Structure 1
Amino acid sequence: MMDFEAGDLERVGFARLPGLADAEVLAGLRRAVRRLEELAAGRTASDEDFVLEAAGIGGWAAWQQEEAPLTGVLRSANRIHRHVPEFEELQGSLGLAHGPVAAAAGAAGTFLNSLLWAKPPVVGSAKPWHQDMAFAPPGFAAARHGIVTVWIALEAATTRNGCLEFLPCSHLAGLLPHAGDRERGPGQAPLRDAVEPHVADADLPRSHAPVAVPLEAGSAVLFDGHVLHRSAPNTTAAEPRTAVSFVYRVPLGARSPAVAAR
């Protein structure tokens, strides 16, 4: 896998950041993740902030269908900086908003959110092709701002345990239609045969082949909110794939007119 330069965010939609987190920051991120896991340890049901994994159907589908998940086994967590404030401190110490995000996007980013992406051995479920901008919060001014995410591997992310895959240049196609079900709100009835939101195969751009981005622990990939990405299931016996992502809002005017107008 070649190392992408920051300028490739505009050209291909993602850029690899080798060795982003040094040993000290990586240890801090792992400690913060352990605190999240402690918060989830007794949970027997998922919610919008803590999604538990479920063997066979995956954590997201089990949550939407109210199927029993694996007690305390996280698949993902949202707004993790609110649950464990150290996450926001650590992203600040990495200087992401004014460093790699600014270098790649043309302007400093504004911190929006942080998430945990856990893919446990054996049961870690797949994530289908999607664009993060499809899940922008209500009121997000998509005509003026874009999203840039920095996804940091806390253990080695490999093709065996479900590293991220991208469709190069797919961010230039704009927001594509997403099939599947939207997450149900609090108090809404379970969704029968829930299908996670995704871009259907027939709607995928065909100009480039998918590119897998394996990462060593502490390395990261930075990507545009419109670039298509997915991850395979973790079928290894003992290789967890755990990552933390930090999401930033960036002004579209800072980029080239061709990208800003998509």
Structure 2
Amino acid sequence: MDDTEYRELRENGFVQLPALATGDTLARLKSAAGRLEGLARDRTVSTGNFVLEAPGIGGWAAWQQGAEALTGVLRSADRIHEHVPEFDAVQRSLDLAGGPVARAVGGAGELVNAFLWAKPPVVGSAKPWHQDMAFAPPGFRTEGHGIMTIWIALEPATERNGCLEFIPGSHLLGLLPHTGDRERLPGEAPLARAVEPHVADEDLPRTAEPVAMPLEPGSAVMFDGLVLHRSAPNTTASEPRTAVSFVYKVTRPSWSRLEPAAACR
């Protein structure tokens, strides 16, 4: 990542990393994703680590409501580097923590989570506007730490099938209010109606227009934990969008702030 790309990340909150995982590395990620999907093949109920897609209401809401999901059709998976250690091996071989992450923030990151993001054709549900720092795990010192995520496309991510969208510069505005329901804990009763946590339209900054981030397989986008992002539903008939993301805890970047700006609309 050169100085121009670093400046783009600092100013916009995100930067594309073209052809980050190519050849054998991309094949390894795809193979690992296949093994992960195999672990979910017979699942009929969502859990914290495996969220199944559900037509109409989406995977997250179906999980929280205890509603019927599509057998084995993943919407997302959590802790994937623990379920399939090959994911961890690949991110280590690419030296993501000591390479692009370290160059971005001035020090190596620490892997704290990794995800599969599946958005199957026809039923692939949307992800609303949010900031990842709003979901920092317990014990995460937000006053001293930040998050840097590297999101790698395993299949073409397009505006048709739900590529990521960002609001440039929104990472400079602090942590914005999120509305919706928290994830229910194991043993808690299902919700009658679940609203996925998100930043409401009236709280979105009006400082810049959203920017779509189409990606070819193996290309990636790296983004700050405070930048607003979302993805639209996949309404295509035959264009799946599958990606993996690696989330790193970093020393809080010098440009970040936690308190919201007084006038960000």
TM bucket, shorter chain = over 0.9
Q: What do residues 14-37 of structure 1 show as CA deviations (whole Å, max 9, x unaligned)?
A: 010000001111000000001011
User: Counterpart of 1:142?
Assistant: 142
Structure-2 residue corresponding to 1:226: 226
Aligned to 1:132: 132
5+ long unaligned stretches in structure 1: none
* Counterpart contact for 2:64–2:183, Cα < 8 Å: yes
Is the CA contact (8 Å cut-off) linking 2:162 and 2:231 kept in structure 1?
yes
Q: Which residue of 2 aligns with 1:65?
A: 65
For 2:101, the equivalent position in structure 1 comes to 101
Answer yes or no: is the 8 Å Cα contact 1:7–1:104 preserved in 2: no
Count of paired positions: 256
Q: How much does 1:111 deviate?
A: 1.1
Is the contact made by 2:172 and 2:257 (CA closer than 8 Å) also made in structure 1? Answer: no
Tell me the equivalent position of 1:251.
251
2:111·2:247 contact (CA, 8 Å) conserved in 1? yes
Residue 50 of structure 2 is matched in structure 1 by: 50
User: How far 1:261 moved relative to its partner?
Assistant: 7.2
> CA separation in 1, counterparts of 2:173 and 2:258?
11
Answer yes or no: is the 8 Å Cα contact 1:26–1:154 preserved in 2: yes
Corresponding residue for residue 170 of structure 2: 170
Root-mean-square deviation (CA), in Å? 1.1
| Counterpart in the other structure of 1:113 | 113
**Scaled by the length of structure 2, what TM-score is found?**
0.94
Amino acid at match of 1:259: S
Partner residue in 2 for 1:194: 194
Cα offset, 1:202, TM superposition: 0.4
Distance 1:26 1:230 in 2: 24
Q: What's the offset of the Cα at 1:106?
A: 1.8
| Structure 2 Cα separation of the partners of residues 192 and 249 of structure 1 | 35
Whole-Å separation in 1 of the counterparts to 2:239 and 2:250: 34
Structure-2 separation of matches of 1:57 and 1:132: 22
Q: Distance in 1 between matches of 2:47 and 2:143?
A: 30
Instruction: Write out the 4+ residue segments of structure 1 that deviate beyond 6 Å after TM superposition.
Output: none
* Residues 18-65 of structure 1 deviation map (CA, whole Å, 9 limit, x = unaligned): 000011110000000010111000000000000000011100000101
Identity of aligned residues (%): 68
Output the amino acid matched with 2:7: G
Partner of 1:32: 32
Give the conservation status (yes or no) of the 8 Å contact 2:175–2:258.
no
Shift of 1:260: 5.8
In structure 2, how many angstroms separate the alpha carbons of the residues matched to 1:229 and 1:199?
A: 10
Code of the residue aligned with 2:128 in structure 1: it is P
Taking the aligned partners of 1:41 and 1:97, their CA distance within structure 2 comes to: 31
State which drifts further: 150-159 or 8-17. Answer: 8-17
